[in-house]
């Protein structure tokens, strides 16, 4: 049960278990259709885990939220990707089964929940795409010798993967792509190729985690990728304090990068690859003399959450101090921020989420 001081909660979570979203030339399952799901879709395990996550949230926040779903009090948003849209609906099936007057079919205790999303090319919150300045800043950040040396330190792994996968592996992002495919195939109980045993999961997971670090390896990159969602969370909390909104819960269904980018913008990342169903909870509490934020991480469906303390700010972190602490991460105008310094700069194409 939520504490009596709770006024608002923000949930940011990764979708449930899925089928592979990409493949590689020597993948023994390259021609698999992953029926009945299809590529990059939630599996039955992923559906069930999101549903159970909703049930867990009902136990934690049910007293605070009440039994009836109310769109004036609960907001749901996902990326424009099938598996995140579906995850949000399965999670809400567990969180808000219809009760009383909301039961529309006594044989089906389920109700649809209004789901918001931004088209992929216009995503300015959960993925932040179509931002030339991001590509320009990342290109600049990767010139750092320390970063270059670390990227090169994995060359033995790159060569090994190149020889066995049939794809040229040169960067941690290439490793992450293959790791994600193997992880999804493993989740389907598919037998992985013999060559994977010496590098998967441990070594590849280490390099995959580093790829998430590289995504936002400067303050400017964190500001672009994690800043918009962090700013919305703070601004929505401020609106609640000022009595400008009736909202009780904001829900954001995203990807591993969504979770990792937000955590790094908040300086609370644990350096681990966010797993399926990973959940961040940011709670706003009324502590009489001030309003403060508490941050919790639930790493997987079976793990209990643990509190994360924002560096430089005690818990609960006063909202005004949170604004000060995160000031360098909060974009004033993302469209302006996304303009490259070099007007002739040609950004790299956004990868598929």
Catalytic residues: 15, 256
Cα–Cα distance between 147 and 25 in angstroms, integer?
A: 29
- Residue 335's contacts (CB-CB under 8 Å, 6 or more residues apart) are none
Helices (H), the chain: 44-65, 82-95, 132-141, 145-152, 155-165, 172-187, 202-215, 219-225, 227-241, 256-265, 319-326, 334-337
Q: Which of 205, 207, 204 is nearest to 195 (CA)?
A: 204
Cα–Cα distance between 149 and 100 in angstroms, integer?
A: 62
Largest CA distance in the chain: 64
CB 93 within 8 A of CB 52: no
Q: Which of 288, 215, 305 is nearest to 258 (CA)?
A: 215
Output b/e per residue, 64-90; b: 16+ Cβ within 10 A.
bbeeebeeeebbbbbbbbbbbbbbbbb
**What is the number of helices (H) and of strands (E) in the chain?**
12, 8
CB 295 within 8 A of CB 19: no
Place of tokens 């818990």: 315
Q: Which of 8, 11, 9 is nearest to 254 (CA)?
A: 11
Is residue 149 packed enough to be buried (19+ CB in 10 Å), middle (13-18) or exposed (0-12)?
exposed
């Amino acid at each position: 049960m939520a504490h009596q001081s709770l006024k608002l909660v923000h949930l940011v979570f990764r979708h449930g278990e899925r089928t592979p979203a990409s493949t590689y030339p020597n993948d023994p399952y390259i021609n698999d259709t992953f029926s009945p799901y299809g590529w990059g879709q939630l599996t039955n395990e992923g559906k069930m885990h999101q549903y159970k996550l909703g049930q867990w949230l009902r136990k934690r926040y049910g007293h605070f939220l009440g039994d009836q779903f109310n769109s004036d009090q609960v907001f749901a948003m996902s990326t424009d990707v099938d598996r995140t849209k579906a995850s949000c609906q399965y999670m809400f099936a567990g969180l808000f089964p219809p009760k009383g007057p909301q039961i529309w079919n006594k044989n089906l205790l389920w109700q649809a929940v209004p789901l918001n999303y931004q088209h992929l090319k216009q995503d300015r919150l959960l993925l932040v795409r179509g931002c030339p300045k991001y590509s320009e800043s990342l290109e600049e950040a990767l010139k750092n010798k320390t970063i270059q040396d670390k990227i090169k330190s994995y060359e033995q792994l790159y060569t090994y993967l190149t020889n066995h996968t049939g794809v040229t592996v040169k960067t941690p992002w290439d490793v992450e792509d293959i790791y994600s495919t193997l992880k999804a195939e493993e989740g389907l109980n598919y037998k992985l190729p013999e060559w994977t045993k010496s590098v998967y999961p441990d070594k590849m997971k280490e390099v995959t985690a580093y790829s998430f670090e590289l995504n936002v390896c400067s303050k400017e990159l964190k500001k672009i990728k994690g800043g918009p969602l962090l700013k919305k969370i703070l601004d929505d909390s401020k609106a609640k304090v000022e009595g400008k909104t009736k909202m009780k819960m904001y829900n954001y269904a995203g990807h591993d990068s969504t979770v990792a980018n937000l955590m790094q913008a908040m300086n609370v990342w644990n350096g681990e690859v966010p797993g399926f169903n990973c959940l961040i909870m940011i709670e706003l509490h009324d502590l009489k003399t001030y309003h403060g934020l508490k941050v919790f991480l639930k790493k997987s469906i079976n793990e209990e959450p643990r509190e994360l303390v924002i560096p430089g700010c005690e818990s609960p972190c006063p909202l005004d101090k949170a604004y000060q602490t995160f000031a360098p991460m909060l974009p004033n105008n993302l469209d302006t921020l996304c303009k490259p310094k070099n007007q002739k700069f040609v950004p790299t194409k956004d990868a598929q989420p």
